[in-house]
Amino acid sequence: MSEYITNIGNILSKYWKVFLIEGVSYTLILSVITVVFGALLGILFCIGRMSKFKPLNWLVIAIVEVVRGTPMLLQLYVGYFLIPQLLPIQISDYMSITIALIINSAAYVSEVFRSGIQAIDRGQSEAARSLGLSSGQTMTRIILPQAVKNILPALGNEFIMIVKDTSLASTFFIGELMTAYLKVKGNTYLTIECLFIVGVIYFVLTFVLSKLLGVFERRLKAND
């Protein structure tokens, strides 16, 4: 046991920048980008799924069901190999994986938005229409602001899940925490110790984020 502790101390003293600066920063940046753009795309998916225009409705349903019905790692592989071929410009591996993560997040967030919108009393929509607001104005001014407030905790949980799911991106060696683990393990040949360090970092990140989310939820309830 003392040997493990000594090895962990030696690894941290030599490679702490790889874990904390490279690994954590890449993981958080990737997670923030994924959640922000995933939420924006998720809103569009949600509107498309609730649209009365059937071709758009069917297209969005197909995308959401395919994403929710296949493993994320498979989607990352498809994004890694297919997205650069579909775009007219050359993009990095990091961007390809980010786009795949955004589409995955958007599929789940769209369902969260849809449940939040459907939870709003239909009478509010009818009242808004009776006052002369169009369906678009009713959605953007009346329904969406309330729905967003209701689903913010769920979006926070999505962010925490994405922080953990970015570990799958290490397959493509793009710089996040599990990539940092692979780098350090390759230099030290100390698998257990490196895994322990990365596990502790992931736990601290998700624990802190969950506590901050709890504080935010309590403030939202206090403001109601």
Residue 65 to residue 62: CA distance in whole angstroms: 5
**Between residues 195 and 147, which one has the greater pLDDT?**
195
Mean pLDDT of the chain: 86
| C-alpha 143: how far from chain center | 24
| pLDDT tens track for 16-51 | 888 888 888 888 888 889 989 998 999 899 888 888
| Residue 129: predicted pLDDT | 74
At 117-136, the pLDDT tens digits run 877 777 777 777 777 777 77
Rounded to the nearest 5 degrees, what angle is found at the Cα of 130, between the Cα atoms of 125 and 134?
65
pLDDT at residue 168 greater than cutoff 70: yes
